[in-house]
A and B are shown apart, each in its own frame.
Chain A
Amino acid sequence: MKQDFDVLVIGGGATGGGTALDLALRGLRVALIERADLTDGTSGRYHGLLHSGGRYAVRDPESARECIEENRILRKIVPHAIEDTGGFFVTTPDDDPAYADTWLAACHACGIEAEEIPVSAALKQEPVLNPGMSRAFRVPDASSDSFDVLTALGLAIRSLGGEVLTYQEVVGLEMTGGAVAGAVVRNRRTGEQQRLVAPAVVNAAGAWAGQIAAMAGCPVIVRPSKGTMVAMAYRFVNTIINRCHKPGDGDILVPVGTVAVIGTTSVDVADPNDTAVQGWEVQKMLVEGEKMVPGFSQVRALRAWAGVRPLYEESGGAQGREAKRTFAVLEHAQRDGVEGFVTVVGGKFTTYRLMAERAADVVAARLGVTKPCLTKDFVLPDARLPLVSPKTHWLGYRLEAVESAKDGDALICECELVARSDFEHAAREHADVIAPWVLDDLRRELRLGMGPCQGGFCGYRAAGILHEMGNVTAAQATSALADFVQRRWRGQRPLLWGHSLRQALLDEHIYRGVLGLHRLGMTKDEHE
C-alpha cells in the first residue's frame, strides 16, 4: 500500500502538528504521522505552562525572548486553549532574596513584563501562598491545554486537505540515492505496513528525533531528560506560581482546568520511552510544594506522570537543567549529505509555532514554494466539547453549559462533567474505535476519567455506550475498559495514600467486586 504526499511530518506533538499546519497553509499536501495518539509524547506530559519566559531570563535569555514573543502570538491564535491565569514569581524563605533583582533585570532585558507587587497583594490574590514570602512579581504566564491545541491543529490540518495518521509507527525511512523519499509505517493495532512517499520528510519526533534521524543515517544527539509532575486534585491556586530562584525541581505550580499541577524533576534517562515515576520524585514535589504553599503535602494528590524533555546538543553540551532550551532546525542535506530530510528538535511547547515556522521555511525553500508563513495570524478552530462553548477558556464553562442545558443529557463522567452526547460525538469521530486504547484516546479528547474518581464510575458507562453505538463488540468494549482501568492505575499508583488511596480502593471494588472485570479475559476463540 502506498500513498503520495508533498511532505511527511513525523511526530504528533506540538512541533509536528505546528509544522504540518504551517506547510498545509502554504498549499502543500501534508501527512502528520504519529505512533500513538496526538500529544502522547512530551506535549501531553508537561505542566501546562505557557511561559512568559521568566524562568529562562537569567541563564538562557535567548529562550526567554522566544517565549515571551510566542506567548503573545499564541494568545491570539489559540485563545480557547489558554486560560489567562497570570503568573507570580515569589521569593520564599528558602530562596536567596538577592536573586530577585538579578532576575528582574534579566526579564526586562528580554522584554518580559515583570512587575513587582506588594506581598500583601499577592496574598490577597492567592491566600494559600507562603505568608513568609519576602517578594512577589507579576508576569504574563498563562495556563494552556495541549490536548485542545493539538485537537485544533489536527482539525485545521484536515480542513486544509492534509491527513493526520495516528497509531502509525515509522519503522523505516525510504532512501533513494542518498535522499529520503518517504517512510514506511506500521499500523499499531493490525501490524499492517504501508509506504508513504514524499519528496520532503520533517523529523519532529521530539525525544525520539535521534532514533528517527538514525534511520536516515544522520547522527542527531537528543538527551532525554525525564521530568515528573503531580496533579493535585483541587485547584487551590488560580495563578501560576514560580519560585524566584535558580531553576530547580518542583518550583512551578500551575492551575490547569480543575487541578493544580506541580513540576518537575530532571532525571537523565537512556530511553525516551522511560516515563516511570519514582517514589522519591513524588516526595520531592510535595516537599517543594510546601515551600510555596504551606499544607501542600496534606491535600489530595490526584495523579503522577512523567514526560521526557528533548534536550538537543549539537556537540557534547551541558546536561539537564544547564542545557539551553532553544531549538534547532537541522538541514541534513547540508549537514549530513542526505537530501529531502529536515529535523526540528529541542525547544518547548511555548515555542512550537516558531519552531514549526523555521522548519517549514527550510522545507518550503527546498520545494520551491514561495508562500510565506501564515501561522502568526491563523486562528485555530475551537473544537472543544460541549460543542457550544465560549471563545476564551474559563474554569466554570463546563458547569455553566451543563446547568443551562434545557434537556437532560446523561453525565457519563460526573467529575469532569462529560455528557453522553459529547462522548458519542467523539467516539463517532475516532479513527479506530475497535482499538483497545480507544477509551484512553477519548479521555484525552473529553477529560473522561481525569477527575477525582480517576475513571471509577465513568469507565463502565463509557464501555457500555461504546458497545451500544454498534460498532464495537462486547469483547472489544471490555478490552477497552480493561486497558482504560490499567492506564488510570499507572498514574494513581505512585500516590496511593490518604483519600487517593481510598478512591483507588473504591474503584477496585467497583471493577473487581461489583463488575468482575478481572474475570473477563479473552475467551479461547478470540485468541485465535
Chain B
Amino acid sequence: MNDVLVVGAGPAGLLAAWGARQRGGRVRLVASGIGTTHISPGWIGVLDSDGDLSSALQGWIGTHPRHPYALAGLGALSSALSALREVTAEAGLEYVGDLRSNYLLPTALGATMRAAVVPRSFAAGDLRDPGSMLIAGPAGWRDFYPGLCAGNLVRQGFSAHSATFDLPELHAGKFDATPLTLARLFDRTDVRERVAAQLKPCLEGAARVGVPAVLGLAPGVDVSIDLSERLGVPVFEIPTLPPSVPGIRLFTAFKTALMKAGVQILLGMTAERGVIEGRRAVGVVIPGAVRDTTYGADTIVLATGGLYGGGITTDHTGAMREAVFDLPLDRPGGLESWFGPESLGVHAAHFAGVRVNRDLQPLDETGRTVLENVRIAGRLLAGHAAEAEGSTEGVWLATGYRAGCV
C-alpha cells in the first residue's frame, strides 16, 4: 500500500491527491496555503490553437519532446479530464468540451481567449457562434465593466452591446463587494428575479447574455441555467479579477471529494525542507508553532508551484532554488537575463523549473534521476511557458493526475 504525501493545494496538487487516492493507500495533502484555483479564470486551457486541437497537440509534442505534455503523455491529459469531470459532477458542477477543438471566449476586457474545456456556465459565450451578445454587470461594481468589454468585442467584429443592472445590496454596506459577495447574492432566487426583470428590456434582440462570473456559489446549483430560463436566452459567465468564483467552485468540489475519500488536507503547513537518504526522499519537514514535524511517505508529489507559487524561491543575488529538496533546476542565467523589456512578453524566467522524465521523476543535468520516489507536477515543471502557450490548466491537469497515479 502506497503512502502518498502531496505538497501543494493548487490544482495540480488536488488532482495528484485524487489520482493517488484512486490507487488506494493513505494520502495526505499539505500546503502553505490555498493555491492558484482561486486566481485562475476557470476555463481549462490546453493549447492555444485554432482549428483541430488534437492534431495541434500531436504536433506540439512532436516538436517539444521535453514539454510536460510530451513527458506525461496525452493519455494522461485525457484521463485527467475524465477525473476532473468525475469530481466536479459529484458537486453538480459540469464541464463541457473536449480535446478536439477550442472554445473562443470573451474576457472581461473584451479580448478573446481559447480553452478546450470550460464550465458549462461559460459555454454559451463561444465566439465561434455569431449570435449577438448583451454584456451586463452590476452598476457601480468595481470589478467588471460591461461597456469596455462590449466596446472591445465590437472593435474585433463581434456583435455586442452593454447594460448595467442595479443591485441595491451591493451598496448596503460601505465596503466593496468581492466576486464572492456577488456570487452569494446570485444564490438567491429573489435576486435573480430582479436582475432578469431589469435585463429583459435591455436585450434588444441579443441572442445571449454575458455577465461576470459570479453566478452562484452553492454546490449543486447551476444558477446560469436558472437565469437563462428567466431571460429566455442563454446566459454565460465571463471571468474577471480575482478572487475567482469558478476557481473556488472547483476547489470546493475537490476538497469535498477528497475529504469524503479520507484525504487529510492541511493548510498553513509549509514544507520547509526535505529529508533525503541516498536517492530516496524520506519525508518533508514542516515547522509548527514551535517545533518541526517530519511527514514521511512512500511517494512525495511536489506540486508547489513555480516562481509565483513559491515552489522556486529567488533572492536579490539571482539565486533560484527549488524550495523543498533543492532539486536541480533548468534556469536562465543571471538576474538581468530573466525578463525582457516587454511587459507582456515571453521571458526566459517562464521556462524555469525542474526537469523530469516520463514518470515525472526529477532529473539532474545529465538526465539521472535525483530522487526516485518524488514526482513533480504543475508549474514547477521545466520546459514550458504556460501563459504564452495557453497550456496552464492542461499542464496541471495532465501532470497532476499522472503524478498521483504513476
Which A residues contact B (CB, under 8 angstroms)? 279, 282-283, 286, 297-298, 301, 405-412, 420, 457, 460-461, 463-465, 467-468, 473-475, 477-478, 481, 485-486, 488-490, 493, 496-498, 501-502, 504-506, 508-520, 523, 526
Residue B79 CB within 8 A of the other chain: no
Whether the pair B314, A497 counts as a contact (CB closer than 8 A) is yes
Which chain A positions have C-beta within 8 A of B144?
Answer: 464
**CB of A397 to closest CB in B, whole Å:** 18
Do residues B316 and A297 form an inter-chain contact, with CB atoms below 8 A?
yes
B109 near A515 (CB under 8 angstroms)?
yes
Asked whether any CB of chain A lies closer than 8 Å to the CB of B277, the reply is: no
Residues 223-250 of B, flagged 1 when their CB comes within 8 A of A and 0 if not, give 0000000000000000111100000000
Cβ-defined partner of B152 (8 Å) among A407, A410, A474: A474
Chain B contacts with A in 325-367, Cβ cutoff 8 A? 334-336, 338-339, 341-344, 349
> In the complex, which of the residues A282, A408, A498 contacts B175, with contact meaning CB atoms closer than 8 Å?
A408
Q: What residues on B are CB-neighbors of A464 within 8 Å?
A: 144-145, 147-148
Inter-subunit contact A279/B155 (CB<8 Å): no
Q: Is B206 an interface residue (CB 8 A)?
A: no
Tell me which of A407, A474, A501, A517 contacts B155 (CB under 8 A).
A474
Q: Provide the bound-state CA to CA distance between A211 and B294, in Å.
A: 67
Instruction: Tell me the bound Cα distance from A475 to B108 in angstroms.
Output: 14
Which residues does chain A contribute within 8 Å of B40, judged by CB atoms? 513
Task: Say yes or no: B111 contacts A520, CB within 8 Å.
Answer: yes
Residues on the A chain within 8 Å of B109, using CB: 460, 478, 481, 515-517, 520
**A516–B113 touching, CB < 8 Å:** yes
With A486-B343, A498-B316, A520-B111 already in contact, the answer to whether A467 and B147 are too (CB < 8 A) is yes
What CA separation (Å) do A313 and B392 show in the bound complex? 57
* Residue contact B314 to A498, C-beta cutoff 8 Å: yes
The contact size tier of chain B is: 35 or more
Q: Give the contacting residue for B111; candidates A420, A457, A515; CB below 8 A.
A: A515
CA A510 to CA B239, docked complex, whole Å:
11
Kindly count the residue-residue contacts between A and B in the assembled complex, taking CB atoms under 8 Å apart.
151
B148: chain A residues at CB < 8 Å are 463-464, 467-468, 474, 477-478
Instruction: Report the bound CA distance from A7 to B242 in whole Å.
Output: 52
**Residue numbers in B under 8 Å from A474 (CB-CB):** 110, 147-148, 150-152, 154-155
In the complex, which of the residues A502, A512, A514 contacts B108, with contact meaning CB atoms closer than 8 Å? A514
Question: B62 an interface residue at 8 Å Cβ cutoff?
Answer: no
For the complex, give the distance between the alpha carbons of A321 and B108 in Å. 51
Interface of B is mostly: loop
Q: In the complex, what residue of chain B is closest to A296 when comparing beta carbons?
A: B316
> Which residue on B lies nearest to A515, using beta carbons?
B109
Q: Which residues of B contact A279 (CB under 8 A)?
A: 334-336
Kindly state the separation between the CA atoms of A464 and B139 in the bound complex, as whole angstroms: 12
Q: Which of the residues A409, A497, A509 comes within 8 Å of B316, measured between beta carbons? A: A497
Q: Which residues of A contact B171 (CB under 8 A)?
A: 408
For residue B291, CB closer than 8 A to chain A, the reply is no
A491 to chain B, nearest CB (A): 11
User: Is B41 at the interface (CB under 8 A from chain A)?
Assistant: yes
Is B335's CB under 8 angstroms from A420's CB? Answer: no
Contact A457 to B343, CB < 8 A, known contacts A467-B147, A519-B112: no
Interfacial residues, chain B to chain A (CB-CB below 8 A)? 39-41, 107-113, 140-145, 147-148, 150-152, 154-156, 171, 173-176, 239-242, 307-308, 310, 313-316, 318, 334-336, 338-339, 341-344, 349, 387, 392
Chain A residue nearest in CB terms to B143:
A461
Could you say which residues of chain A place their CB within 8 Å of the CB of B342?
486, 489
Taking each of B148, B150, B151, which has the highest tally of chain A beta carbons within 10 Å of its own beta carbon? B148
User: With A474-B154, A497-B315 in contact, is A506–B39 under 8 Å at CB?
Assistant: yes
Nearest chain A CB to B177 CB, angstrom units: 9
B244 smallest CB distance to A (angstroms): 8
A444 to B344, CA, bound (A): 23
Residue contacts A-B, CB under 8 angstroms, 9 given:
A409-B174, A460-B109, A461-B142, A468-B148, A477-B148, A477-B151, A508-B343, A516-B111, A520-B110
| Selected contact of B145 from candidates A282, A405, A467, A485, CB within 8 Å | A467
Q: Given the complex of chains A and B, what is the CA–CA distance between A126 and B41 in angstroms? A: 44
Known A-B contacts A408-B174, A515-B109; A502 and B151 likewise in contact (beta carbons under 8 Å):
no
C-alpha gap A501/B316 in the complex (Å): 10
CA distance A508 to B386 in the complex (A): 12
Complex Cα gap A513–B109 (Å) = 11
- A496-B142 contact given A457-B241, A468-B147, A502-B308, CB 8 Å threshold: no
Query: A475-B155, A508-B387, A523-B155 in contact; A301/B316 too (CB < 8 A)?
Result: yes
Is B108 within 8 A of A515, CB to CB? Answer: yes
Given contacts A502-B308, A518-B344, contact A510 B241 (CB under 8 A): yes
User: Closest residue to B140 on the A side, CB-wise?
Assistant: A410
Residues from chain B with Cβ under 8 Å of A514 in the complex: 41, 107-108, 239-242
Asked if A509 and B39 make an inter-chain contact with CB atoms under 8 angstroms apart, the answer reads yes
Partner of A517, one of B143, B314, B344: B344
CB distance from A474 to the nearest CB of B (A): 3
Complex Cα distance A485/B334, Å? 25
Contact of B107 among A475, A506, A515, A523 (CB under 8 A): A515
Q: How far is the CA of A284 from the CA of B150 in the complex (A)?
A: 48
Query: In the complex, are the beta carbons of B344 and A513 less than 8 A apart?
Result: no
Smallest CB-CB separation from B379: which chain A residue? Answer: A505
A496 to B318, CA, bound (A): 9
Contact partners of A407 in chain B: CB under 8 A: 174
B176 touches A510 (CB 8 A): no
**Smallest distance from the beta carbon of A283 to chain B beta carbons, Å?**
7
How far is it, in angstroms, between the C-alpha of A28 and the C-alpha of B81 when the chains are bound?
A: 75
Given contacts A410-B140, A461-B142, A485-B344, contact A478 B152 (CB under 8 A): yes
Question: Whole-angstrom distance between the alpha carbons of A481 and B20 in the complex?
Answer: 44
Given A301, A461, A473, A504, which contacts B151 in the complex, CB threshold below 8 Å?
A: A473
Instruction: Tell me whether B108 and A501 are in contact (CB under 8 A).
Output: no
* Structural contact, B111 and A496, CB atoms closer than 8 A: no
